[in-house]
Amino acid sequence: MARDYYSNSANVAQLASGVDGSSATTTLTVNSLTGWPATPCWAEIDKGLSNAEVVKVTNISGNVLTVVRGADGLATTDHGAGAAVEHVAPAYVFNRTEAHVDASANVHGIASTASVVGTSGEQTVQDKFFRGAHRAVFSDALPAVVGSAAYESVADTGAARDGYVHRATGADVDRRAFLGQQSGTDRIQLFNDGTVDLNPAASVRPGLRSRGTTQLDGAVTATAGLTVGTTASIGGNVTVGGTLNATGAATLQGGVTSTNATLSGTLSAAGAATLTAIAATSVTASGVVSSLGKPVMLSVAALAAVTSPVADQWVYLTSDGFWYRYTGSAWEADKRPRGWIGDSYASGSPGSITTGTLHDSIVNRQLYLNRKYRLSGSLSYSMLASPPFPTFALAVQSGSAITYAGATTLRSIGIESSGAGRFAHFDTIFTVASSGAYSVGMTTNPNGGTATVSNRQLVLEDIGGV
């Protein structure tokens, strides 16, 4: 709504010629005009007389006024030459002012359904479009409805709502969609390109904490340490300059590089894992695991599973129990002896060794195909007075079946005549048909008979690859 103009120095002019009472007559020629305000403004003809008429002046050109006749509720009337034309503030102006003071809506040119926004006190502002920069200072007391929040967004309906949306239509990716400062220091920066910069102050709280499952589809670089408390799924590589702690399960779709790793949970890396020092309950990687500067892979079922091996990479092959080193052109098995595997010793009351039963055994030892083993021992024994005389044998048992090398025995000590107080020392070297858990011990040949023995001792050793 356009404003009206007023002046304290406007002269009282006179009509140069009379005008009739027709509203079609909209121009008034006066003798002179001095001190009149800009238009629109107000005037009254024959003020104080019975034919007084208020007009609204819409334009002034020289001594000619363009007017709207019969304004502010007064009728148009005839006016003779010399009639006074005076600049006034009619009742309309004062009535409109009082209505404005009283109104809370449809003022200052805003819509009839809108309300005036005050500078203080709680109000509801709805469907507003703000342009330009804005600044809010929260040093004053906050309304009770928001508690300690400086800004609060409430989704109070079931309709889908985004609490805050920042749309950057420009190409400047270095501008921030959100900036959080503390005492002038940038603490939280969210950039338009989606990157986040966190600069936490010294605090008992971690800089970034997720109490549930955390999934990162890109790479993670931690200059200091990285702690995974529950479950983390990371789609890219992880580089940790300090300590990597995982008390839960960390699954990495890429690789991991860490100066130090302590895991009471599980670290699983689909790519390469480089760990200068590691203490872990479980680490699984289908890429290269590097420890103490050397690339190592913990275990695979087949060498073909290792893609793009590098020189001095070590692999533990679960199918045969060998460690393999990649020379740069081929895999080379480590066939060095591994020494003692287990032993068994019994003394005191004599015991009987019978056919088809494993005695004094070293139980459930993992033995591997393509490795050689030595089983050695000694015993004191006595034989029956009459045939059949048993043959002592060393045997290997897998599950419930006792397996002998050759036709019957892994190693026969010999067929003896009857008698007591005899002593024997023996050893044998053997292999197994497949990798698995075995028990080794003493039995007799299936030719029958029972031997009574005492002071038995067995020792099982790994003596190298085939």
Residue 275 CA to residue 260 CA, distance in Å, equals 6
Residue-level pLDDT at 74? 85
214 vs 196, more confident: 196
Write down all domains in the chain, each with its CATH number in brackets: 13-94 (2.40.10), 174-200 (no CATH), 211-333 (no CATH), 339-465 (2.60.120)
Which of 9-13, 281-285, 410-414 shows the lowest mean pLDDT across its residues? 410-414
Please state, for a pLDDT cut of 70, what percent of the chain lies above it: 64
Residue-level pLDDT at 414? 47
Tens-place pLDDT, residues 130-151: 787 777 776 666 566 556 666 7
Residues 443-465 have a mean pLDDT of: 73
Residue-level pLDDT at 50? 92
Residue-level pLDDT at 198? 85
Q: What is the largest CA-CA distance in the chain?
A: 168
| 246 pLDDT above the threshold of 90 | no
| 23 pLDDT above the threshold of 50 | yes
Measured CA distances, 402 to 100, 358, 453 (Å): 108, 8, 20
Spatial neighbors of 313 by CB under 8 A, at least 6 apart, are 288, 295, 296, 297, 306, 325, 326
| 28 pLDDT above the threshold of 60 | yes
Tokens of 187: 């603490």
**Closest among 223, 219, 271, 229 to 243, alpha carbons compared:** 223
Which of 93-107, 174-188, 344-358, 366-380 shows the lowest mean pLDDT across its residues? 344-358
The length of the chain in residues reads 466
Per-residue pLDDT band for 40 (boundaries 50, 70, 90) equals very high
Residue-level pLDDT at 428? 80
346 vs 251, more confident: 346
Residues 307-314 have a mean pLDDT of: 78
Residue-level pLDDT at 24? 85
Mean pLDDT (the chain, rounded): 76
Which of 60-64, 136-140, 348-352 shows the lowest mean pLDDT across its residues? 348-352
Residues 350-375 have a mean pLDDT of: 76
- The secondary element (H helix, E strand) that includes residue 54 is strand 53-61
Residues 230-256 have a mean pLDDT of: 66
Residue 258 CA to residue 221 CA, distance in Å, equals 10
Residue 176 CA to residue 199 CA, distance in Å, equals 15
| 33 pLDDT above the threshold of 80 | yes
Residue-level pLDDT at 410? 45
Residue 69 · residue 26 · CB < 8 Å: yes
267 vs 362, more confident: 362
Residues 294-321 have a mean pLDDT of: 77
Which of 291-305, 314-328, 377-391, 401-415 shows the lowest mean pLDDT across its residues? 401-415
Q: Which residue has the tokens 């005899």?
A: 422
What DSSP letter does each residue of 167-236 carry, written as one string? ---SS-TTSEEEEEEETTEEEEEEETTS-EEE-PPS-SS-SS--SS-EEE-S-EEESS-EEESSEEEESS
| 405 pLDDT above the threshold of 60 | no
3-state secondary structure (DSSP) of residue 91: helix
Residue 287 CA to residue 294 CA, distance in Å, equals 14
Per-residue pLDDT band for 404 (boundaries 50, 70, 90) equals very low
What DSSP letter does each residue of 236-277 carry, written as one string? S-EEEEEEEEESSEEEESS-EEEEEEEEEEEEEESS-EEEEE
